[in-house]
Structure 1
């Protein structure tokens, strides 16, 4: 049975020179919980959807479509072996470290019951220089992008409580084939995939839908 291995938050931002805003809350640490998850509000005006969690840069992180970030322990173990360093739960900035469920091939719009909350897969995590600086890995953005194990962001459909050990149940799978991996490749290495994202409807963040439409306009004008 898929479970939440740990629930991770950052209770304060850390001043650093490698973050765009000069501070970061990427250093999430496991807590006992349970904690409430709820829709935080539109991107740019709100931070994390997890109670007590902080985000350093609201312009690029947080908001309703990035309310909760999940990463599989199996993928952390892969990177642990590749990098030759220990990676604790929460080290990739994830709120939920899970076991027994695949984030990479989850469908955008897929809904997971986690604790008493209902979460919907909304987007992949796109690596940035803050992520690279925090890990201290040269060439990390390129390497993470090539491997395409981005983890999944979720929006909160029903607010509720989540704690370590909670079971994860997939309660809905949409009828398209837009996966987290496809979404990730579309916005990083293969822009020809961008129009496919529209198949996932309003499960896709509005700013990404706008990106797709802008690209179409450019193509028509060229």
Structure 2
């Protein structure tokens, strides 16, 4: 009885060992045949306080709302918001190479220049900075969406017209996607802005998201 049981147990252990051996040789092969998950393509947003949700929680801003829409409607895409309140075009130029290297975006959204205009910085300086960002983005293989801004009339006719023209001319020259004026849907609605009369309130952000989406969506196809 004892020797019979020992023999039976030995045969069972051998069988189990054989099963594990077969499993060990087959499983890695099946894993090797499974393709690696494809990395998500990135939309990189380089902007100022208008894109950084100034005065709001980050989740309320138009960029976060866009990211939420992208996650639901554009599988395989993600949005990275590299916007900083107070950023100028010069600041964007100083950061863009690092952002391109870190995020390897397929699309770059440039929403900068408003702070240049409000400070009355030379138009050619702003133009050169925006052009540099466009060229670097395109050289990295990314499509570019350039978002324009307008200045209040108190800056003077020559300055305001030249400022607006910078965006349209650069977009045409470098064949970028183009949105002439970020705040167009709410510009005439004082109630859509915070007390500073510069930054949109939370309930205005979905309108900005929808406005930008018209120019951004075609780049995600």
Instruction: Bin the TM-score by the shorter chain.
Output: under 0.3
Name the TM-score, length of structure 1 as normaliser. Answer: 0.25
Identify the structure with bigger relative contact order (alpha carbons < 8 Å, sequence gap 6+): 1
The structure whose Rg is larger is 2
The structure whose residues are more often helix, as a share, is 2
Give the structure with the larger strand fraction.
1
